Amino acid sequence: MKVSKFGGTSVASASQIKKVAAIVQEDPSRKIVVVSAPGKRFSDDIKVTDLLISLADAALSGNGAEKELQAVVDRYASIAEELGLGDDIIHVIEEDLRGRVAHDKENRDLFVDQMKASGEDNNAKLIAAYFSSIGLEAEYVNPKDAGLVVSDEPGRARALPEAYENLKSLRDRQGIVVFPGFFGFTQEGVMMTFARGGSDITGSILAAATKAELYENFTDVDSVFAANPNVVDSPVEIKRMTYREMRELSYAGFSVLHDEALMPAFRHSVPVCIKNTNNPSAEGTMIVAEREYSKSPVIGIATDGGFSTIYVSKYLMNREIGFGRRLLQILEDEGISYEHTPSGIDDLSIIVRSHQLTPEKEERIMDRCRKELEVDDVHIEHDFAMVVLVGEGMNNTKGLTARATAAITRADANIEMINQGSSEVSLVFGIQNSDTDKVLKELYQEFFSTAAVLGV
């Protein structure tokens, strides 16, 4: 049995949904289908999730939201009409949306989340209706009814252990289960969403719970590429990679798979395959526990922008017991998580996602560092990017860092930070945002040119 998840571009229109149906029909082992909300049909289009956010904002403003609600209904109606479905499914969707708009608005975040989740939920209902209309035995299954129990963490919920026990019975259902991604319910029955893009997480949870032979993640590319194809011309395809490699690349900017999605599959040893809805015969990329290593120690290079550095300096910092703990406590009090902490004996840099900071937070952080930690210097710098080299074969490979730094030098970029995890699966460089593309191109040439791969 396989669990197959289809992303936003795969279910963005009637023509795409017809492709999904053909893929499911082609392989009877595709018993559980997880769907996202309709994504963009073309480059300037608006995702249904963004339409729902506009609807939520309008409802919260108290000035009426009929126009925004109708925009969402019309999008689903156009899909249903092209699929040859009657008005019944649109009435179901509109009634659901009106019920959500009428929900309690005291907790703004929860209200917005339950509006966003309707994108996946209603698309699953529509797709199940289409499957049935073409003769497939299919049913929509609500995560609450199925027992997808999650933690009480709005926007970043995690499946609780009992969820896996509850969900395993999906394997025994007749026909095809069409399951909405992105959300679950707390033990008290409150809807909670995963991180945005969390339909990947739902698919992985279901694959783990049902002990699927394979978790297929259908998107709009034939495979995972060694570098961003929008920056590097015709990058090589990655045919096989490990969970750890994919996790590192997803974290660092590879949008093909949500970075939290691999954990359930990894823990339950379910292999994952990235495939293309528009070219389902393509082999795709297999993600497994172990693989054979090629001559190239690096399997992929990822870049991600939007980082800031909190720089702290204090003479004899290394002798002050508890300094790091107290510094991180200041960040915790502000609700800020950190990404990297490169340090020296008298200085410490904390790399954070810039979106977590505001001018007010920055001022409070620096003020507390001066008063409570009595630092010699504290300042915050912005507009950093992270470039990450990933590969299990990097472990114990001599000269790799020297090659990488030489390539960055050739790109005429300055290295602001270097960090390597103890597992040696990744090597991280901090650079200026403006240097990202030229550094990526130079690093790709260094590690993936024909000469580099052949060891010439």
Whole-angstrom Cα distance, residue 10 to residue 39? Answer: 8
Of 6, 8, 36, the closest CA to residue 21 belongs to: 6
Token duo for residue 358: 């505001």
Determine whether the annotation assigns residue 155 to a binding site: no
CB distance 273 to 287 below 8 Å: yes
- CA separation (Å) from 194 to 100, 107, 112, 188? 19, 17, 13, 17
Q: At what angle do helices 108-133 and 48-61 cross, to 10 degrees?
A: 140
192 backbone dihedrals φ, ψ, rounded to 5° = -130, 145
Task: Give the containing element (helix H, strand E) for 240.
Answer: strand 240-242
Whole-angstrom Cα distance, residue 39 to residue 7? Answer: 8
Task: Give the containing element (helix H, strand E) for 377.
Answer: strand 377-390
Sequential DSSP letters for 173-234: SSSEEEEE-SEEE-TTS-EEE-STTTHHHHHHHHHHHTT-SEEEEEESSSSEESS-TTTSSS
Token duo for residue 45: 């289009």
CA R_g for the chain: 24
Token duo for residue 204: 């992985």
What region, left, alpha or beta, does residue 335 occupy, with left being phi > 0 and alpha being psi -120 to 50 degrees?
left
Determine whether the annotation assigns residue 120 to a binding site: yes
Block residue for tokens 């990744």:
426
Determine whether the annotation assigns residue 5 to a binding site: yes
Sequential DSSP letters for 252-311: TT-TTS-TTTHHHHHHTT--EEEEETT-TTS--EEEES-----S-S--EEEEEEEEEEEE
Whole-angstrom Cα distance, residue 17 to residue 200? Answer: 18
CB distance 55 to 101 below 8 Å: yes
Determine whether the annotation assigns residue 9 to a binding site: no
Of 17, 86, 107, 97, the closest CA to residue 51 belongs to: 97
Of 301, 278, 299, the closest CA to residue 288 belongs to: 299
Determine whether the annotation assigns residue 49 to a binding site: yes
Q: Which residues are annotated as a binding site?
A: 5-8, 49, 120, 219-220
Q: Which residues are annotated as a binding site for ATP?
A: 5-8, 219-220
Q: Which residues are annotated as a binding site for substrate?
A: 49, 120
